[in-house]
Structure 1
Amino acid sequence: MYTYLISSLAMLNFGDTPPFSYQSFLKICQEFIPERDIEILKDISRVDIENIEVHQPTLKKWYTFEVTLRNELVKLRAACKKIDLEKYLRPTDDDLVESHLTHIAHLAYQSHSILEGEEILDRGRWQKLDDLEFGHYFDLDHLICYACKLLILERWQRIKSSDSHKLLEQTLQG
């Protein structure tokens, strides 16, 4: 069931236009995979990832990566502003911080523009998804990584199609 579905999906590359929306992706998947797996794919788009109990191993690794990356950014911002970071850090299942995460966060934090920093972060996320996807060609793990990548592409499509001045103004205000 996964083989046909995955082999029919368009290949995703960072910076490309998404071939279809995340919602369309979910509809396509509904024709081929069990409902319990659809529910896992739906959870991926949730924003409050710190409050989700996850049992699927790949998704758990992805959420741990994302929370750890955000924590690294908190550490950099707190050090710069000389504030207590403890109330902003989120718990993770893994206390080990991969050194490349610190590097990604540092590069993004030091970038000359907000968009450049966001691109650095999303390229780091994309690389992590490539790592998680390795060895998973026709299974739920592959679809999880695909869904995460599709959400990244959708985000960049929104950024590219928005008014850059309005986007900058909203970012600086909020």
Structure 2
Amino acid sequence: MSGINYYLLSALPGLGEPGSTPPITRQELYKMVSASPAAARLLEALFLGDDLLQRQALLAGQDSQPEPLLLTPSQIRGEQPLPDFLTIPSSDSPRRIPEDQIWNAYYHWAAQQAKQAGSRFLARWIAQEVALRNTLVLARAKALELEPSEYLVADELADPDADFTALLNEWGLAKNPLQGERLLDDYRWRWLKDHESWFRFTDDELLAYAAQLMLLERWHRLNKAEAQEQSVQK
């Protein structure tokens, strides 16, 4: 572990359980890490996925107050193009859903960042994220009698050993999309807790902390969205 990251980890506040208020923001953590370019690049690879989720939710009308870290407000709203590395080479076959092209490019880019940096955490995180996303795609495709191969992304990066059977059962019973998102993030939190010992005493420990912070912020946003939805219903 580099000296700066060891110092950072010693100085960072402890994180509470799901639903608790984040003690710091992603922006604050990113600023603290900015003095270490290698660590900052890995945080960017991790946090960009959350920005893209917020963008997707906003464009779908599910989130009116996104809080991006890396993308600009115009990019979040779809008014300006995304970074070049999220564009699709002309040689790739177009996806049925344009958003899938962006996710396909993101996962491959993030996996490449993990490989270049030797980040075991980021590689495993992307592998389980791809596996989870594609598992949900298969479930939706089966329910709608669609051809799933047209909607899978970066399938070669997916963790082949991931088992989401129990999660799928819970997710299928969710009363609304917000509850479904909570269930998915609860799984992600458990995954982090189950595997956090793998990443101790390495630079990846900082990334594991950042991923937990990212989930706490996401829960905070979901709480606000749920409160707004309930207010409208009243």
Answer whether TM exceeds 0.5 for this pair: yes
Find the counterpart in structure 1 of residue 44 from structure 2: 42
* Inter-partner Cα distance in structure 2 for 1:82 and 1:135: 40
Find the counterpart in structure 1 of residue 162 from structure 2: 98
State the AA in 1 paired with 2:42: I
Higher relative contact order (Cα pairs below 8 Å, separated by 6+ residues): 1
State the AA in 1 paired with 2:44: K
- Stretches of structure 2 that go unaligned for 5 or more consecutive residues are 50-102
Q: RMSD of aligned C-alpha atoms? A: 2.3
Distance 1:168 1:46, change over 3 A: farther
**TM superposition shift of 1:157:** 1.3
Distance 1:64 1:5, change over 3 A: same
Find the counterpart in structure 2 of residue 27 from structure 1: 31
Contact 1:105 1:121 survives alignment (8 Å)? no
> Once the two structures are aligned, what percentage of the paired residues are identical?
29
* Inter-partner Cα distance in structure 1 for 2:204 and 2:21: 23
SS in 2 for 1:44: helix
SS in 1 for 2:199: coil
Normalised to the residue count of structure 2, the TM-score between the two structures is 0.64
* Inter-partner Cα distance in structure 2 for 1:65 and 1:145: 14
**TM superposition shift of 1:45:** 1.2
Alpha-carbon displacement from aligned partner over 1:152-172 (angstroms, at most 9, x marks no partner):
111121222235329999xxx
Contact 1:129 1:145 survives alignment (8 Å)? yes
- Stretches of structure 1 that go unaligned for 5 or more consecutive residues are 170-174
State the AA in 1 paired with 2:228: S
* Inter-partner Cα distance in structure 2 for 1:167 and 1:92: 43
Find the counterpart in structure 2 of residue 3 from structure 1: 6
Aligned match for 1:129, one of 167, 182, 192: 192
**TM superposition shift of 1:131:** 2.8
State the AA in 2 paired with 1:15: G
* Inter-partner Cα distance in structure 2 for 1:21 and 1:73: 29
